Amino acid sequence: MPTSFMSARASSVNPEMKAAAEVMMEIEANKPAGNGLVVGRGLSPLSETLWKEKANVELIGDVSARLTWKDLTVTVTVAGGETHRVLEGLTGFAEPWALTALMGPSGSGKSTLLDALAGRLAANAFLSGAILLNGRKAKLSFGTAAYVTQDDTLIGTLTVREMISYSARLRLPDKMPREEKRALVEGTIMEMGLQDCADTVIGNWHLRGISGGEKRRVSIGLEILMRPRLLFLDEPTSGLDSASAFFVTQTLRGLSRDGRTVIASIHQPSSEVFELFDRLYLLSGGKTVYFGQTSEACEFFAQAGFPCPPLRNPSDHFLRCINSDFDKVKATLKGSLKTRVERSDDPLDRMTTSEAIRTLIEFYNHSQHHYSAIQKVDEISRVRGTVLDSGGSQASFLMQAFTLTKRSFVNMSRDFGYYWLRLLIYIVVTICIGTIYLNVGTGYTSILARGACASFVFGFVTFMSIGGFPSFVEDMKVFQRERLNGHYGVLAFVISNTLSAMPFLIMITLVSGTLCYFMVRLHPGFTHYLFFVLALYASVTVVESLMMAIASVVPNFLMGIIIGAGIQGIFMLVSGYFRLPNDIPKPFWRYPMTYISFHYWALQGQYQNDLRGLVFDGQAPDLPKIPGEYILEHIFQIDVNRSKWLDLSALFSMIVIYRIFFFLMIKISEDVTPWIRGYIARRRLQKKQSSSTDLATRIPSLRGYVVAIEPNSTSSG
Ligand SMILES: Nc1ncnc2c1ncn2[C@@H]1O[C@H](COP(=O)(O)OP(=O)(O)OP(=O)(O)O)[C@@H](O)[C@H]1O
């Protein structure tokens, strides 16, 4: 038997091992296809039974995902440093061949539980407890698990088919024939019932596109395309009509029947949809009300004293029993409904929902469901299964970079606001510059006019690139969703983002630069024209790169624009126009700020490009002519020994530096930030534990509680 498929830490001929070997032989028979795409069905229900009997063995080769969580508690820090427990001591599991529903009233913690399981908690949340995948601690983001979040972050200018096709090309192996890829895409479109809108654009602020429910189905389709081993869905049926909700849930059930592990939070399923779920996890106020077979939930509620009335949808009944948000309204109406309440045999009419929830939680904690959940979690956790590799992209780096560049280019070319409106504004503004400085000449006053014109072009015209920021923020949102689901790497994104914008930036700067150059009649000669256009292109690209780097840190478009504008304002101040270079206060403003400012390099280069070699009139007709070199050195205080091409190189280097910075910011937020947050969370927990130990030493009766807050803790994120 190949060692990659089996590693047993038990003696060679014990019965456990024999059974495990039988399991592995079956896995071997269901081995994934040779193209590397995991299409195997995992273990059959027969093997599943065998697997259940295993314990304390290492089971390698079974590519299905068994997720367990034990004593999971999530605490968030709210305003004023107060902490608030969102989830409290949850224990449960999710297995292949079973579709698990997470249900509960709004605010009960469904999304938080999914986020915690998927390793995507917010920065102010930290968790304690153990989450294990196949008996091991695992990082579930970046492709190991797929997650369909509540928001549909899609590219509005693409059609449904294009969106799914690009996604397929980004993730499927390069070697897979086009026909097969197309078949997968079409299959997904069919599964999600999107045939009728497959060629309709998704829609954005200026394009009316598909409906909200269709967007939801596209989001789900994008994730089920690769048949992930572990799939989380946050309210996949919200916004869908009952028929669509049924078919979508049926697809998810089909996926689970294929050996995948699927957990979905769901709000208000119809009885038909509800029956499609195998296991139900009911939450209220962050606590478990019920976890067990869906088919046994009604009996559980009946035993707890809350039988589901005939002809009522069980899920409606459960949610009515555990939603305490309207207790106050009920209390107010109690007087007017007195007679009805007295005659009613509904227990909920005779107690508040908070009381009902307390009763149910208490009942669950002492129920067989709870004990068997704990037993099952221990059983699954003991078996150390396969370390699931990232189920993300199987496409090569080049394929990812090429597809992303193409997709981004198509998106930009269709986005009116992104480039076309900007191109129009650039043309209008440069025509204004051209008419104001028309044929500037070489008179005495033109010296100042040329300086002012260059300063306006490299200061304000480049500043207008900030207008692309809202689109960058949208790009970043799509990137974050796709990246967390492992669709492609950071480098491929940064490269594609740089390349795809190039044609538009060249077009914008070529058109506006040419208009400005010839209308103002700057220093004649092709190299002078080329330098001017290249410096303009480099400056606009630096601003784009700077804004993209800001978008990676500040994903809010208003804050991003304010920060970007502030940075550019500071750069302009030290560019050498508003204050001459030698007069800029030292050391901070002169060094390093002038050298960091791209305006400084652009202006220095353009001054040289424009003035060197020209001769200007003196202040009066009888005064001698002034050579450009003299103006450069003595009026604009420019180092004439430095080549203007060096200034241009500095500008191009800045593009590279900002792009590297952009790359690093993403990597830091992915790798370093969670580590720091984890460290802080551990420190906080340790502090809490030591203060509890102090208390317990002083008050012996508290000792038992100290043990209760010592579960092995993991950091958030
Ligand atoms: N990072 C956070 N900071 C502050 N509060 C939070 C945070 N995350 C969750 N909460 C709070 O925890 C509670 C549970 O939120 P969660 O989004 O998990 O609920 P939900 O059951 O998914 O609700 P819905 O069905 O409305 O989406 C809410 O009261 C929410 O405000």
**DSSP-derived secondary structure for 644-707:** HHHHHHHHHHHHHHHHHHHHHHHHIIIIIHHHHHHHHHHHHHHHHHHHHHHHHHHSGGGHHHHH
Q: Is the CB of 109 under 6 A from ligand 1?
A: yes
Residues 693 and 588 in one domain: no
Residue nearest to atom 31 of ligand 1 (CA): 107
The string of pLDDT tens digits covering residues 54-96 is: 444 455 555 688 999 999 999 888 777 777 889 999 999 999 8
Mutate to test the pocket of ligand 1, among 76, 82, 83, 86 (most ligand atoms within 8 A of CB): 86
Q: Please give the Cα distance from 717 to 714 (Å, whole number).
A: 9
Amino acid at 362: E
Residue 52 has pLDDT above 80, yes or no: no
- Could you give the residue ranges of the DSSP H alpha helices within 437-525? 446-456, 462-463, 469-484, 490-520
Q: What confidence score (pLDDT) does residue 658 get?
A: 94
Quick check: CB of 76 below 6 Å from ligand 1?
A: yes
> Roughly what angle, to the nearest 10 degrees, separates helices 314-322 and 353-365?
110
Q: Identify whether residues 603 and 516 lie together within a single domain.
A: yes
Task: Answer whether 110 contacts ligand 1 (Cβ < 6 A).
Answer: yes
Ligand 1 atom closest to 109 (CA): 18
Number of structural domains in the chain: 4
Mutate-to-test residue for ligand 1 from 73, 75, 76, 106, highest number of ligand atoms within 8 A of CB:
76
117 C-alpha to ligand 1 centroid (Å): 15
pLDDT score recorded for residue 323: 80
Q: Mean of the per-residue pLDDT values for the chain?
A: 83
The pLDDT tens digits for 412-423 are 888 877 778 889
Q: Would you say residue 343 lies in a domain?
A: yes
**How far away, in angstroms, is 84 Cα from ligand 1 center?**
11
Whether 611 is covered by a domain: the verdict is: yes
CATH of the domain at 307: 3.40.50
pLDDT tier for residue 51 given thresholds of 50, 70 and 90: very low
pLDDT at 16: 39
Residue 427 located in a structural domain = yes
Residue 662 forms part of a structural domain: yes
Q: What percent of the chain has pLDDT over 90?
A: 51
d(CA 314, CA 298): 7
- Closest to 494 measured CA to CA, from 620, 270, 318, 660: 660
Percent pLDDT > 70 in the chain is 81
pLDDT score, position 56:
44
Residue 281 has pLDDT above 80, yes or no: yes
Is the ipTM above a cut-off of 0.85?
yes
Q: Assess contact for 189 and 164: CB atoms under 8 A.
A: yes
Domain-embedded: residue 619: yes
How, if at all, do strands 83-94 and 67-77 pair?
antiparallel
Q: Say how far apart CA 640 and CA 160 lie, in whole Å.
A: 57
Q: Are 381 and 74 in contact (CB under 8 A)?
A: no
Contact 107 CB / ligand 1 (< 6 Å): yes
Do 367 and 244 belong to one domain?
Answer: yes
Q: What is d(CA 554, CA 543) in angstroms, rounded to the nearest whole number? A: 16
Is the pLDDT at 178 greater than 60, yes or no? yes
Q: Mark whether 58 and 103 lie in a shared domain.
A: no
Whether pLDDT at 705 is above 80: no
Cα–Cα distance measured from residue 57 to residue 50, given in angstroms and rounded to the nearest whole number: 13
* Same domain membership, residue 468 and residue 362: no
Pocket flag, ligand 1, residue 112 (CB < 6 Å): yes
Give exposure, 699-711, as e/b (b: 16+ Cβ within 10 Å).
Answer: eeeeeeeeeeeeb
Residue found by looking up tokens 């353009």 in the block: 606
Q: Give the span between the Cα atoms of 501 and 544, in whole angstroms.
A: 9
- 486 and 592 fall within a common domain: yes
Instruction: Give 112 Cα–ligand 1 centroid separation in angstroms.
Output: 6
Specify the 3-state DSSP secondary structure of 245: helix
Q: Tell me the average pLDDT across 161-175.
A: 94
Indicate if the pLDDT at residue 444 is higher than 90. yes
Question: Which strands form 67-77's sheet, in the order they lie side by side?
Answer: 83-94, 67-77, 125-133
- Cα 492 to Cα 98, 157, 397, 404, 554: the distances in Å are 36, 21, 7, 8, 21
Residue 422 lies in a domain: yes
> In this structure, how many other beta carbons lie within 10 angstroms of the beta carbon of residue 226?
25
Segment 168-178 shows an average pLDDT of: 93
If we measure between CA atoms, which residue out of 640, 636, 619, 617 comes closest to residue 627? 617
Instruction: Tell me what pLDDT residue 712 has.
Output: 37
Q: Atom 2 (ligand 1): residue with closest C-alpha?
A: 76
Structure-token match 């939070």, residue found: 265
Size (the chain), residues:
717
Q: Report in angstroms the alpha-carbon separations of 253 from 63, 166, 246, 247.
A: 19, 26, 10, 10
* 560 pocket-lining for ligand 1 (C-beta < 6 Å): no
CB 307 within 8 A of CB 301: yes
Per-residue pLDDT at 551 exceeds 70? yes
What pLDDT was estimated at residue 322? 85
With a 6 Å cutoff on the Cβ, whether 108 touches ligand 1 is yes
Check if 124 has its Cβ closer than 6 Å to any atom of ligand 1. yes
Specify the residue with its C-alpha closest to ligand 1, atom 9. 112
Centre of ligand 1 from the C-alpha of residue 541, in Å: 40
75 Cβ below 6 A of ligand 1: no
- The residue whose CB lies within 8 Å of the most ligand 1 atoms, and thus the one to mutate among 84, 111, 234, is 111
What are the contacts of 561-564 at 24+ separation with CB within 8 A? Answer: 561/466, 561/469, 564/466, 564/469
Query: Which residue bears the tokens 């652009």?
Result: 602
Is 90 exceeded by the pLDDT of residue 181?
Answer: yes
Q: What is the tens place of the pLDDT at every residue in 603-652?
A: 999 999 999 999 999 989 889 999 999 999 999 999 889 999 999 999 99
Whole-number pLDDT of residue 486: 87
Domain boundary, last residue among 18, 46, 63: 63
Asked whether the predicted pLDDT for residue 38 surpasses 50, the reply is no
Q: Can you tell me the distance from the alpha carbon of 604 to that of 613, in angstroms, rounded to the nearest whole number?
A: 15
The position carrying tokens 């019932």 is 193
Strand pairing of 261-266 and 279-284? unpaired
692 has pLDDT over 70: no
- Whole domain around residue 506: which residue ranges? 397-670
Q: Are 715 and 682 in contact (CB under 8 A)?
A: yes
Q: Is the CB of 412 under 6 A from ligand 1?
A: no
Give the model's pLDDT for residue 17. 37
Q: Is the CB of 125 under 6 A from ligand 1?
A: yes
Is residue 42 pLDDT above 50, yes or no? no
In the listed set 382, 409, 443, which residue is the last one of a domain according to the structure?
382
The residue from 382, 413, 434 where one domain ends is 382
**Residue listed under structure tokens 């002034």:** 626
Q: pLDDT digit string (tens) for 201-244?
A: 998 877 788 988 899 999 999 998 888 889 999 999 888 888 88
Give the residue, by CA position, lying nearest to ligand 1 atom 10: 86
Q: At what angle do helices 178-191 and 160-171 cross, to 10 degrees?
A: 130
Q: Is residue 465 within 8 Å of 540, Cβ to Cβ?
A: yes
CA 280 to chain centre: 28
Both 378 and 410 in one domain: the answer is: no
Atom 25 in ligand 1: residue holding the nearest Cα: 106
Answer yes or no: are the C-beta atoms of 432 and 416 closer than 8 Å: no
The answer to whether the beta carbons of residues 527 and 517 sit under 8 Å apart is no
The secondary structure of residue 472, as a DSSP letter, is: H
Whether 547 and 649 map to the same domain: the answer is yes
**Cα-to-chain-centroid distance, residue 517:** 43
Dihedral pair phi/psi, residue 438, rounded to 5°: -50, 125
Within a domain: residue 115? yes
Q: Following DSSP, what letter does each residue of 575-617 receive, concatenated? A: SSSSS-GGGSPTTTIIIIIHHH-HHHHHHHHHHHHHHTT-EE-
Whether 166 maps to a domain, the answer reads: no
On the question of pLDDT at 144 being above 60, the answer is yes
- Is the C-alpha dihedral spanning 334, 340, 341, 342 positive or negative? positive
- Say if residue 485 is in the same domain as residue 350: no
Contact between 288 and 91 (Cβ < 8 Å): yes
pLDDT at 341: 54
Does 518 share its domain with 648? yes
107 CA from centroid of ligand 1 (Å):
5
Q: In terms of domains, do 495 and 463 share one?
A: yes
Whether the Cβ atoms of residue 551 and residue 476 lie closer than 8 Å to each other: yes
- 410 and 371: one domain? no
Cis peptide before 587 (omega within 30 of 0): yes
